[in-house]
Amino acid sequence: MRHLVFIALVGMGALAACSKPEPVADPVRAVRTQTVTAQSAGGVTEYAAEVRARTESRLSFRVGGKMLRRAVDLGDVVKAGQMLAQLDPQDLKLGQDAALATVAVARVNLDQAAADFKRYKDLRDQGFISSADLERRETTVKSAQAQVDQARAQANVQGNQARYASLLADAAGVVTGVDVEPGMVVSAGTPVLRLAHDGPRDVVFAVPEDKVGLITALAAQPGRFKVRLWGATAEPLTATIREVAAAADPVTRTFLVKADVGTGVANGVRLGQTATVLVELPQAAGVTKLPLSALREEQGRTTVWLVDRTTMTVKVQPVQLAGADGNDAVITAGLAPGMVVVTAGVHVLTPGQKVKFYVDPGAPPASAASGTPVSVK
């Protein structure tokens, strides 16, 4: 009898060990939410930029030769007419001396021809020679005069060539680049220095291809562009779009945009200064802004969790992401006014999971029923 009872007890224990345990119910999680409301608003897009001079010249010698010295360094402020660099002028001066000697020879020939013409004119008046002989002497005088003019012009050219051995600044500005050092032999037209002229400044930035049309359209609307200078505490400067590149940069595939901010002296804008261009976007309806923490990626799609007020469960809602505005994500499709979106803890939720609204300890009880509203902008 005892043996049978023992066998029955062992069998009941084995059956109990083989049975499945009771499933543990998912906990009801407290979530932060925001309620979508219908509104409209714009935004601001920022682009990194650099301050450049509107006019920047690559200066070069108009003659070739060996550069003896450079009188300025990178970053120096120069005045109009100031000497920047100098070539070896020896050969150029020899050419000028040869041209002056040619002028002297031409003048001697002209004096001789003029004296001959005077003597032949007296002989013609006395009837010793014909008028044809006198005309030939007159032609000789005119030819000698032309040779003098030609030699004088060539001497002036050689004089200019000698003066071109000194490279002068054609405008006041700042030296922004040095391409040739003393001792190098340069040919005519080889860039030696880069000079940024004083005057208007441009803030230059690059925009992607899909934003060129928007920038071009906003350029005609005043007040859409502001420039904030890095390291400056003043208010952002008002800028005007002056030029949009017609072709993309072959390396970055972006389009260069130049914004005018006026003269550097008036606005305190320094060459090479880093800046941020603020582009105020037009007002648009049907755009939702959510915290970045509300988004999740699922099978290549951007989704959010929506709370069903009736069952207090969550479900997945695909949305269309247009970009970011600071710490907010810009949603252009997928949400409608009245929807309750989970904004925190999205990585621990599963479809159909029970949730409850999170309530701050110091918040009024009414906030737990609806969640925090978020605007559809």
Name the pLDDT band for 368 (thresholds 50, 70, 90). Answer: very low
pLDDT digits (tens, 9 = 90+) for 159-202: 888 889 999 999 998 998 999 999 999 999 999 999 999 888 88
Per-residue pLDDT, 376: 43
Residues 231 and 271 both lie in one domain: yes
What whole-number percentage of the chain has pLDDT above 90? Answer: 25
Q: How far apart are CA 335 and CA 327, in angstroms?
A: 19
Tell which residue, 157, 141, 39, 25, has the closest CA to residue 98.
157
Range of the domain at 362: 29-41+285-376
Q: Which pLDDT belongs to residue 81?
A: 92
Which range among 78-82, 115-119, 168-172 shows the weakest confidence by mean pLDDT? 115-119
Percent of the chain with pLDDT over 70: 83
Q: Is 108 part of a structural domain of the chain?
A: yes
My answer on whether 294 and 357 are in the same domain is yes
Q: What distance in Å separates the CA atoms of residue 7 and residue 189, rounded to the nearest whole number? A: 111
The label of the residue with tokens 């409209």 reads 40
Compute the distance between CA of residue 105 and CA of residue 138 in angstroms, rounded to an integer: 19
* C-alpha 302, offset from chain centre: 32
Range of lowest pLDDT (191-205, 253-267, 301-315):
253-267
The predicted pLDDT at position 22 comes to: 58
pLDDT reported for residue 247: 92
Do residue 171 and residue 153 come from a single domain? Answer: no
59: tokens are: 């200066």
Cα–Cα distance measured from residue 262 to residue 326, given in angstroms and rounded to the nearest whole number: 29
Most confident range (mean pLDDT) of 43-47, 76-80, 350-354 is 76-80
**Which of 311, 308, 295, 290 has its CA nearest to residue 345?**
295
Residue with tokens 């070539």: 87
For β-strands 44-53 and 301-308, DSSP reports them as unpaired
Q: Give the integer Cα–Cα distance in Å for 135 and 361.
A: 121
Contact predicate 56/176, CB 8 Å? yes
Query: Could you tell me if 171 and 225 lie in one domain?
Result: no
Q: For the beta carbon of residue 72, count every other beta carbon within 10 angstroms.
A: 19
What CATH number does the domain containing 71 carry? Answer: 2.40.50.100
Q: Indicate whether 17 pLDDT > 80.
A: no
Is 290 within 8 Å of 301 (Cβ atoms)? no
pTM (two decimals): 0.57
Number of independent structural domains in the chain: 4
Q: Are residues 226 and 296 in the same domain?
A: no
Domain assignment of residue 74, yes or no: yes
- CATH number, domain containing residue 126: 1.10.287
Half-sphere exposure of 138 (CA within 13 A, CB side): 8
pLDDT tier, 375 (very low <50, low <70, confident <90, very high otherwise): very low
Q: Do 75 and 172 belong together in one domain?
A: yes
77, 103: one domain: no
What angle (nearest 5°) sits at the alpha carbon of residue 337, between those of residues 336 and 342?
80
Residues 72, 177: one domain? yes
**What's the CATH code of the domain at 243?**
2.40.30.170
For residues 157 and 106, state if they share a domain.
yes
Q: How many residues does the chain have?
A: 377
Look-up of token digits 């609806």: 370
Residue 49 contacts residue 204 (beta carbons within 8 Å): yes
Do residues 260 and 191 share a domain? no
Residues 213 and 315 in one domain: no
For 123-142, how does the pLDDT look when each residue is reduced to its tens digit (9 = 90+)? 888 877 888 888 888 898 89
Verify that 187 and 66 share a domain, yes or no. Answer: yes
Query: Average pLDDT, whole number, for the chain?
Result: 82
Residue 207's closest CA among 277, 273, 260?
277
Q: Of 260, 252, 247, whose CA–CA distance to 204 is shortest?
A: 260
> Is residue 22 domain-resident?
no
CA distance 91 to 99: 13
Q: For residue 18, is it within any domain?
A: no
What is the amino acid identity at position 119? R
CA distance linking residue 155 with residue 102, whole number of Å:
8
Q: Roughly what angle, to the nearest 10 degrees, separates helices 131-163 and 90-125?
A: 170
**Listed residues 241, 258, 283: the one ending a domain:** 283
User: Cα 62 to chain center, whole Å?
Assistant: 32
Give me the residues paired with residue 96 across strands: none
